[in-house]
Structure 1
Amino acid sequence: MIVAFLNQKGGVGKTTLALNLAGEWARQGKRVTLIDADPQGSALDWSQQREHAGKPRLFGVIGLARDTLHREAPELARDADHVVIDGPPRVAALMRSALLAADLVLVPVQPSPFDGWASAEMLALISEARIYRPQLTARFVLNRCDARTMLARETAEALADHDPPVLAATIGQRIAFATAAQSGCLVSELNDDTPAAREIAALADAIDGLGIGRATR
């Protein structure tokens, strides 16, 4: 399965979610490759930091910030159980290529009046991709979310009947994510029995529960 984290808005946590999801699947014994399709290369930087710190490699990280991604990602998927794409903000050609590569698109949003609604452009790109890939599945993911706040509840309610719908698993606003990233770690490596680690495990379970197989291309 190829999973792409995409959102036209920057700073919504695509890289953090992509890295920790890839790490969770790797912990489960899955063969995972992460594609850094963001020209900023944050996932590649994390991987290099991890290597310099002498930490073991859990999954491969490859930089492919180019609009041939839809042709190259399926080739990488032949040798992996899961491919995770960390997508770019506001690069239309790369975004289209990532959409055409993916079996599942996850759109991270934060509980705010602005993030609660994906841009019309993002939704248009998903609709456009479905012309060529009608089997493409998409979900919103509530990230950096305190479920106890009214704003978070209002955001979840606003997305409840939306297309794409919201994924059942939500990710909280956790300092552990920033702490782990600074040291080239994943939250599960700091402590696998924290709210952050449990939320990532629940995210992986929710995605697995969608029952998406690898698409025939």
Structure 2
Amino acid sequence: MIVALLNQKGGVGKTTLALHLAGQWASEGKRVTLIDADPQGSALDWSQQRARAGLPRLFGIVGLARDTLHREAPELARDADHIVIDGPPRIAGLMRSALLAADLVLIPVQPSPFDGWASAEMLALITEARIYRPDLAARFVLNRCAARTVIARETAETLADHDPPLLAATIGQRIAFADLAQTGRLVFEADADSMAAREIAALATEVGRLSP
């Protein structure tokens, strides 16, 4: 399965979720490759930080920030159980290529009306991609969510009746994600029983069930 994390809006946590999804599946014995399709190369930077810290490689990371991604990703998928694409912000050619490569698009949104409005352009691109990939699946994932706030509840309620639908698994606003990123570690490596690690495991399980 090729899963692309995409949103035209930056700062919604695409890279964090991509790395943690890939790491969770790898920890379960899956063969995983992460494609860094963001010209900023944040996932590649994370991988280098991890190597400098002397930590073992959990999964492969390949830089493919070009609009031939949809032709190259299926080749990588032949040797993997899961491909995770960390998508680009607001680069139309790259975004379309990532959409054409994917089996499933995850759209991370934060609990804010501005994120909902910004996703409209993303949904238009998904509709366009389905002309060529009619089976392309898509889901919203609520990220950086303070679960008990009114705006988080309102965002979830708004997306509950939306197409694409909202995943049941949500990821909280947890400082561990930012702190550990600086060391090249993932949350389950620091504390497998932490709330952050449990949330990521639930997300990976739910996404895995959507495999075509």
TM-score tier (shorter): over 0.9
Measured in 2, the distance between the counterparts of 1:10 and 1:170 equals: 19
1:8-46 CA-partner distances (Å, limit 9, x unpaired): 000000000000010000000000000000000000000
1:100-159 CA-partner distances (Å, limit 9, x unpaired): 000000000000120134433211100000110010000000000011111001000111
Once the 2 structures are TM-superposed, how far is the Cα of residue 179 of structure 1 from its aligned partner?
1.2
Q: Matched residue of 2:108: which SS? A: strand
Structure 1 equivalent of residue 172 of structure 2: 172
Q: Matched residue of 1:119: which SS? A: helix
Amino acid of the residue matched to residue 127 of structure 2? S
TM-score, scaled relative to structure 2: 0.98
Amino acid of the residue matched to residue 110 of structure 1? Q
Amino acid of the residue matched to residue 181 of structure 2? A
The alignment of Structure 1 onto Structure 2 pairs a total of residues equal to 212
Structure 2 equivalent of residue 100 of structure 1: 100
Measured in 2, the distance between the counterparts of 1:109 and 1:118 equals: 9
Residues 1-217 of structure 1 aligned to structure 2 (within 5 Å): 1-210=1-210, 212-213=211-212
Measured in 2, the distance between the counterparts of 1:194 and 1:71 equals: 39
TM-score, scaled relative to structure 1: 0.96
Measured in 2, the distance between the counterparts of 1:32 and 1:128 equals: 28
Amino acid of the residue matched to residue 41 of structure 2? G
Measured in 1, the distance between the counterparts of 2:116 and 2:197 equals: 24
Measured in 1, the distance between the counterparts of 2:119 and 2:166 equals: 15
Measured in 2, the distance between the counterparts of 1:155 and 1:201 equals: 22
Q: Matched residue of 1:144: which SS? A: coil
| Runs of at least 5 residues in structure 1 that lack an aligned partner in the other structure | none
Measured in 2, the distance between the counterparts of 1:48 and 1:202 equals: 27
Q: What stretches of structure 1 move > 4 A for 4+ residues in a row?
A: none
RMSD (Å), alpha carbons: 0.8
Measured in 2, the distance between the counterparts of 1:105 and 1:156 equals: 18
Measured in 2, the distance between the counterparts of 1:170 and 1:179 equals: 20
Measured in 2, the distance between the counterparts of 1:168 and 1:118 equals: 21
1:37-86 CA-partner distances (Å, limit 9, x unpaired): 00000000000111111110000000000000000001000000000000
Amino acid of the residue matched to residue 26 of structure 2? A
